[in-house]
Each structure stands twice: as C-alpha cells, then as structure tokens.
Homo-oligomer: A and B are copies of this chain.
Amino acid sequence: MPGIEFFEALKRESDSRMLLLVADGIGGLPRERGGLTELETAKTPNLDKLAAEGTCGLLDPVSPGITPGSGPAHLSLFGYDPMKHNVGRGLLAALGVGFPIQPGDVAARINFCTVDDQGLVADRRAGRIATDVNQKLVEKLRDAVKIEGVGIFIETVKEHRAVVIFQGPELYDSLNDTDPQVTGEKPHDVIAADKQSEKMAGIATDFIGQAGATLADDHPANMVLLRGFARYEKFPTMEEVFGIKCGAIASYPMYKGVAKLVGMDVIDCGPEPEDEVEALKQNVGKYDFFFLHYKKTDSRGEDGDFDAKVKEIEHFDSLIPAIRELDFDVIAVTGDHSTPSVLKQHSWHPSPLILWAPYERRDECDAFGETQCALHGGLGRHRSTDLMPLMLANALRLEKFGA
C-alpha cells in the first residue's frame, strides 16, 4: 500500500470538485441476529438513488477487527495510514476541545484523582467530579501553575478529564503515563525514554508538583494523573500531497481539529446540519475538495438508541438533494467507522460506501445499506485509505505511475 507521500509525484491539476460526506458512525448492526441495521431500517430515498447511480463498497478504517477512534478513522479517510501517522491521545484531547495546537507543542490528558495522606492513589477518577467542579479546578491551576519559559494551557474536557498543552522550544514526548492503573499505589514518576525528552520530563514533574500543592485541599480531586503525552508533529498537508485545496465543514471541535491537522481550511458554520449544507453552498467555488461531517448518527449510536439513530440517518438523507444541486464531479458518502446502537460504541465493522463518480463501472447495488454494499457493490472492500485515491482518480487528478 503506497504511503501518502507517494501521491506527491502523481498530483495533477484539474477543475473538478470533490465532496466527502462523512456520516459519523453510520454503519451499524441489527438489533437481533439476521435483522436490519439502522441504515437498512431507515427510509433513505435520496441515498438509495445516489447508490443506484454510483458504485458501492465497504471501507475498513484500519483493518478488519480493529475498532478505531475518531482521529485514526478520519485520517484514514483523508488518505493517511493511521498506523504510520499516529495521533497521540493528548493531541486528540487538545483537538477535541478546539485548542489551537501548534507543531512542537506537547499535550497530555489530565485525570483529576484522589490521593490519600501517603500520596497513594485512592480513586483514579476522583469520584467522577462534575464538569463544573472540573472547570473551577482548571481555573485554579491556570492561576497557580507557572514554569519559566514554558507556555501552559489547561482546558476542561468533561467530568474528571482535562487536557494540558505545553508550549516551548525542544519539547518531546517519549514519556510514560503517571497513572498507576490501580489504586493503593503512588502515581508513577515521569521518566524520559530518550535524551531529547528529558526536558519535558522535568517540566511535567514540576507541573505535577505544583498542581498537587494547588489542589491539596480540593478533596476528592486533590491530585492529577497525566496520560498520553503527544507532540504535535506537522503532517504533510493534503494540498502538498494531493495538490488540492480543501475545506472542512464540521460542527464539533474534534473533527475541525483533525481537518486542521491535514491542512484543511475550517469553514465557519452554525451547529445544525442545515447550517453545514448552507456553508457548503456559500463556499462551493472556493475549494477543490470538501469534507462535510455529520455528527449525530454517531451520537445516537453511542446512546444505544436504535430508533433515534434511524431518525438521524433519515435526517442526513434529507440533506442530499440540496447537496446534489451543487454539481460536484465526485461525491463519496461513508462513515469514519461504525457505531452500532447495540454496542453503544465505535465498532470494527466496515463502513458502507457510495462512490458517485463519472468513471466507475455499474454494479447491482441500488440501496444504501451495509449488506447491499457488501454483496452487490462493485467496488468491493477496501481500506479507508484507498478512498482518496479513488476520488482523485475519478476527478482526473492523478498522473500515471511509471511509463
């Protein structure tokens, strides 16, 4: 499988325009063995028409059996092998809260926790404190913790979780988690696994010391555990590798963040799906490629609410006619991963795919559903990383490889 850099030599100019529509977690499972999935249950006349006109298949975000997080799942759709272009958890947390992280910054996840008189961890999640308590503790830490020559930014995530971003020269991330994973033990010291990470180990140790002192009287959240240290290494941008100007339309910070990682412009828009379509309409002439993210199919799957996910899929379907009026040359509709409501979480199942494009062969898939795509789709089953090459090829934006 060629890496993303392979395409740099093949990029070719064209006026064609592409749209990647991601209905987050749209793939699912039946309520009972042998039944219909959420997507197959939903009435989706517009997606079915697109499927009948286009060519269908399945996409595995990473590889069969692997359940991806949203970061790797989206990177894969954007053409970046998520095994090579890894996004550390700290970095994802920073992106998730919309922090404008810069290359060279190191981010880590914070868990507020409870330690006893001897400094042993008594509760790794500080009784799952409420988010508003978290916000007050974060404000306290922001005021109190200072380290010479290092920018420190702390942001609430949710309940006992927060994120810290360190900015400064020569910061590296080969550091262990301090979370001992069990109660009754001390938090681990931060130890650098290589020479260049020693500076950051010292800063993290200092940070933890100051945070512990600041929170000493804030039982149950009287200490912090740091996890998932991750330096933001600049990715080759989609413009660099594919030669396309990319616009991202998403209402959640996480997806805006992943789009920014690969160099997309994030286009402002309101919170509703209709606002996203309007933003697409307003900007349609300005970019070669759009990524439009529809969130709630995933949210209802994570809620475990089959019927509500069906409704969200139908809502997504209702947006298609207005999108088709914008006359894209290539439209792909898929999910980043599956989120079956029976599992209430992301899953490893491949995402159904419609590739509506000018130069594809006919197939026998005339409805958008997981089983239809698997059995009657002409594209077959691919890694998500193969989608961008297929879209670019149909947009006539790839040169021939070799003579």
Contacts and interface: CB of A to CB of B under 8 A. Distances in A.
A238 to B, nearest CB: 15
A266 interface: no
Interface string A89-106: 100110010000000000
B363 A340 contact: no
A68 B401 contact: yes
Contact of A390 (B64, B92, B375, B401): B64
A94 to B, nearest CB: 11
A402 B359 contact: no
A2 interface: yes
A220 interface: no
B389 A380 contact: no
Given A362-B35, A400-B346, A67 B393 contact: yes
Contacts of A348: 389-390, 393, 398
Contact of A66 (B33, B342, B345, B389): B389
Contact of A402 (B2, B87, B401): B87
A363 B40 CA distance: 13
22 contacts: A1-B63, A2-B62, A10-B66, A30-B361, A34-B362, A62-B401, A64-B390, A65-B392, A66-B389, A66-B401, A69-B401, A82-B401, A82-B402, A87-B403, A93-B403, A343-B359, A347-B359, A348-B398, A349-B359, A374-B380, A375-B378, A380-B380
